[in-house]
Amino acid sequence: MKVTNAEIVISAVSEKQYPTDQLPEVALAGRSNVGKSSFINKLINRKNLARTSSKPGKTQTLNFYKINEAFYFVDVPGYGYAKVSKKERQKWGKMMETYFEKRSSLKAVLLITDVRHEPTNDDIQMYDYLKYYDLPVVVIATKLDKVPKSKRAKHLKRTKNLFDLEPEDILLPFSAETGEGKDEAWSILREYMGL
């Protein structure tokens, strides 16, 4: 897809701030620092629309990026920071619940995971949680460039097995560094959003 327009529309803390124009959307979930912003930036050919390397402790918001007036990427706050207080975690959980449970324009969730490492318990819990809400999930195995070519198949298989993916869910190898997987990502997104 040729992206001619990309803008952040709102960093929402509550449901009443979510956009109401009914465009389809795809959310991105993953551990803090896994490469969610880099994924968005690579897909839309921008260096820095989505903020990369966001620091923990900053306000936890759902960031809605409107692309070509056609759909939204929704950047979900990262999980897995040990330092976050219990209260913060509860707030995060509530926000996720409101969003994933009720958002009818949400077409699929991209669960970003680092292909170098085994998915963490948090990753697997997130996957199971999304399946509980019957959401289609695409696992994006990112940072592929950091794994030698000879070892990639093994890493991908391990990721797939540990998530125990349901047959309809896709595992996509990706690198924000080299752009591998970018075209496939777009065709998957188009399909889910009916674009």
* Residue 80 dihedral angles phi and psi, to the nearest 5°: 95, 10
Distance CA 101, CA 3 (A): 29
Do 111 and 140 contact (CB within 8 A), yes or no?
yes
The tokens describing 99, both together, are 């969003």
* 63 scored as a contact of ligand GDP (CB under 6 A): no
Give the residue with the Cβ less far from ligand GDP, 30 or 136: 30
* 78 scored as a contact of ligand GDP (CB under 6 A): yes
Of positions 26, 27, 34, 171, contacts ligand GDP by CB under 6 A: 34
Distance CA 75, CA 77 (A): 6
Minimal distance in Å, beta carbon 40 to ligand GDP? 8
* 36 scored as a contact of ligand GDP (CB under 6 A): yes
Of positions 17, 32, 105, 120, contacts ligand GDP by CB under 6 A: 32
Distance CA 130, CA 47 (A): 29
Backbone CA torsion sign across 72, 46, 31, 111: positive
**Interface map 40-59 toward ligand GDP (x if CB under 6 A):** ------------xxx-----
Backbone CA torsion sign across 120, 125, 126, 127: positive
**Interface map 173-192 toward ligand GDP (x if CB under 6 A):** --xxx---------------
For binding to ligand GDP (CB under 6 A), which residues are involved? Answer: 30, 32-38, 52-54, 78, 142-143, 145-146, 175-177
